[in-house]
Amino acid sequence: MDQVSRFYSGPGKLVAAIGSALEAAGLDRTALRPADLAPVDEFHIRGRAATLEIIEALDITADSQVVDLGSGLGGPARTLAELTGCSITGIDLTPEFCEVATALSAWTGLADRTRFRVGDATDTGLPDAAADAALTVHVGMNIADKHALYAEAFRLLRPGGRFVVYDVLQGEGGDVHYPVPWAADASTSFLATPQDMRTLLAAAGLDVVSEVDSSAESLAWFQEMRDRIHRDGPPPVTFAAFLGDAFAQMATNQVANLAEGRIRTAMFVCARPH
């Protein structure tokens, strides 16, 4: 776990780096909306578009209590809070991510509805049946014991509660080209196949309501991002803020991994039975 946390810790202080980049782009930190931060804090394939699909699948309201397992910089959590009015707790292994997520929520006026805690997504310490809904976005790739992750989601959910998993999966095209945004090499990468996911989620006691493969859309998203950066230059704040100089190679590898079927992206919508 320490190795995973170190991989995601940036070369400098992220809060200061993000703040400086926003100011350089002419964005007023006192008037930010979550969408302004999407190029850096929606740290998953297809970004905010995928988050909006997750929100629809979660079926939550302003009264809902939500848990984000592996919350990163808090982009999905803030988008959920902004668009639904829900209250959300994010759990992440990387202390610097929780620090940044807390600051960005303050900057966007969402500190009252989002909170972030350093912790293990497989053993959060939160009470049983504490959540109306839960999500995990691009987290399972770094967790070898996926049963523990999905069993924790089951434990946290109230009966009938929704759990959405949006993850990168092992494709049929062979070994992954590294580095990628979740791992420098295979030592911290634990990809499940689609069939593995169905088995794991059922073994945790969850009903799989739907499964959507978005691999073609993910490849188009990466290609569009690559073309846009080539045409217009990078946005003021990007994932490179914490992935460093390797980010360009990671993005190139992701296009190849998707095009060659080495990885897939999929969203599983689950529910804890009544």
- Please give the average per-residue pLDDT across 74-89, as a whole number: 97
Nearest-angstrom CA–CA distance, 217 and 124 = 32
pLDDT given for residue 142 in this prediction: 95
pLDDT confidence bin for 17, thresholds 50/70/90: confident
Q: Which residues pair with 183 in a beta bridge?
A: 180
pLDDT confidence bin for 11, thresholds 50/70/90: very low
The closest of 206, 185, 188 to 197, measured between CA atoms, is 206
- Please give the average per-residue pLDDT across 182-210, as a whole number: 97
Rg (CA), the chain: 17
Cross-sheet strand order for the sheet of 65-69: 114-118, 87-92, 65-69, 131-137, 157-170, 263-271, 207-213
CB 45 within 8 A of CB 127: no
User: Which residue range forms the structural domain that includes residue 172?
Assistant: 2-271
Task: Please measure the distance between the N-terminal and C-terminal CA atoms of the chain and give it in whole angstroms.
Answer: 34
Please count the structural domains in the chain.
1
* pLDDT above 70: residue 6: no
Nearest-angstrom CA–CA distance, 20 and 225 = 23
Q: DSSP label at 70?
A: T
Phi-psi category of residue 47: left, alpha or beta, with phi > 0 → left and psi -120 to 50 → alpha? left
Q: What is the pLDDT of residues 109-122, one digit of tens each?
A: 999 999 999 999 99
Task: State pTM to two decimals.
Answer: 0.91
Comparing 224 with 124, the larger pLDDT belongs to 124
Nearest-angstrom CA–CA distance, 1 and 8 = 11
Six token digits for residue 199: 């088995």
Looking up residue 208, the CATH number of its domain turns out to be 3.40.50.150
Q: What is the pLDDT of residues 139-194, one digit of tens each?
A: 999 999 999 999 999 999 999 999 999 999 999 999 999 999 899 999 999 999 99
